[in-house]
Amino acid sequence: MINFLKWFSLIFLIMTLWLIVNVISTNQGWFVNHIAPQGNNVEFSKAIKKSISEKSKGNAVMLMVEKGNVITKYAISKGKPVDEHTVFGVASVGKWVAAVGIMKLVEQGKLDLDKPVSNYLTRWKLPPSSFNNDNVTIRRLLSHTAGITDGLGHNGFESADKVQPLVEHLTLAKDADEDVNGKVAVGIEPGSEFKYSGGSYNLLQLIVEEVTASSFEGYMSKAIFKPLDMKNTTYKHDQATQLAEYFDESGDIRTYPYYTSLAATGLYTTASDLLKFIAIYFPEHIQKPHTTKILTQQSLKEMRSPQASSMGINIWGLGAMLFSSNNNDDYIIGHGGQSPALNATARINPANGNAFILLETGNRSLAADSATMWTLWETGNPDIYMLKNMIPIMLKRVLIGCVLILIGSLLLILKTRRKSAK
């Protein structure tokens, strides 16, 4: 009995150590291939441009930023030429931009992050649920922890005259993705878990309109776009003077949709305008003297404080995604957008002002995949997407290792007993 306990304890210790080694190596990206040596801007620029060129099926514009300054521009198109001033649909990247507009209202005292959203609603109410709807707050809507289970995703509408009114859309979205209910309602205990929700941002859009007594578009233009000189940023793509062609994955031209869900997915902008936006997160010592202070440093810091996690990993702040540690007690932050052959990303390291922006059509994930490579190169750490793909592989490796450890120990015991029997 004593020998069995010793054997079991030893095997358990070895298996635990094997698990710890695998968790650490996965989290630190020890065995992940880097496309360029860390810190070598020239090699990374060369490698990422090659990757985009080989994989692009439509058009793309990339900006790479070091200490607040653009060090690499790259544009490619199978159709009309594009550049950093070309307007692209950026889908859910607009959530991050909308969140800054909402935090502006918080600073002005017009919204409270932790009061029930029902305090601000007159035109529409959350439908009754099995949970306390008063626990749905601005903070939780921004961080996808409000328990809203709409499943949205928006396909948009083919023309402006078919766009569904916002209040009607909140009740049941006609442009919802297939196999989702499209209803903005509380289906999970608010604050209990992360559940991505486009409908949460539709509700935030309504709240902005309620407290400002203006359209969401009008408020965002006045509070964010004009102060930051984002001249080519709009929610009306048909008014854009330099709109990128929208290629699908077969290389055919699509038409950009019209959206009810402006805050969630309806933003159209350029790489150069997005750079003006993310510049608000630059460290103060590298900001230009004329940089407009949209939010206080305290609010910007709060936006990237962890609000939601998955599998024990911090993944979301207030409207900003937390992609990975930046090795400086902070995160690489930003947002991505995809809908359906359009992909966009903007990421920044707030510690040093390094950033990466890629807008493209024709691929479902080229921007996200490229930003994943940039994050790994910038920090040495895999981002949340890479970790998500690596965890099943890690668990399989741990399981196989534990089985081999067990079999090896049993064979060793059997061999030892045979020797003793001779």
The 10s digit of each residue's pLDDT in 187-198 is 999 999 999 999
**Which pTM value belongs to this model?**
0.89
% residues pLDDT > 90 (the chain): 75
Tokens of 280: 């608000």
Roughly how many angstroms between the first and final C-alpha of the chain, as a whole number? 23
pLDDT in tens, 154-212: 899 999 999 999 999 999 999 998 888 899 999 999 999 999 999 999 999 999 999 99
- Arithmetic mean of pLDDT, 64-91: 97
Taking only the tens place, the pLDDT of each residue in 28-44 is: 666 677 789 988 999 99
Amino acid at 261: S
pLDDT recorded at residue 391 = 67
pLDDT band at residue 394 under the 50/70/90 scheme: low
- How far is it, in rounded angstroms, from Cα 264 to Cα 152? 9
The set of residues, in sequence order, having a beta carbon less than 8 Å from that of 79 and lying 6+ positions away, is 58, 59, 245, 247, 253
Please state whether beta strands 331-338 and 267-269 pair in parallel, antiparallel, or not at all (unpaired). unpaired
How far is 294 from 96, CA to CA, in rounded Å? Answer: 14
What gap in Å lies between CA 229 and CA 272, rounded to an integer?
A: 10
Shortest CA distance to 91 belongs to which of 371, 365, 305? Answer: 365
The mean-pLDDT minimum among 61-65, 202-206, 337-341, 361-365 falls in 337-341
Q: Tell me, what's the pLDDT at 31? A: 66
Question: For the chain, what are the domain ranges?
Answer: 2-30+390-421, 41-287+297-381
- Please give the mean pLDDT across all residues of the chain: 92
Burial environment of residue 344 by CB neighbours within 10 A (0 to 12, 13 to 18, 19 or more): buried
Work out the average pLDDT over 83-97.
98
How far is Cα 221 from Cα 215, in angstroms, rounded to an integer?
10
Q: Does position 373 have pLDDT exceeding 70, yes or no?
A: yes
Find the length of the chain. Answer: 422
Neighbours of 298 (CB within 10 A): 9
Q: Determine the topology of domain 41-287+297-381 in CATH.
A: Beta-lactamase (3.40.710)
Instruction: List pLDDT tens digits, range 269-300.
Output: 999 999 999 999 999 888 877 778 899 999 99
Instruction: Please tell me the predicted confidence (pLDDT) of residue 19.
Output: 77
- pLDDT tops 90 at residue 25: no
Cis bond before residue 153 (omega within 30° of 0) = yes
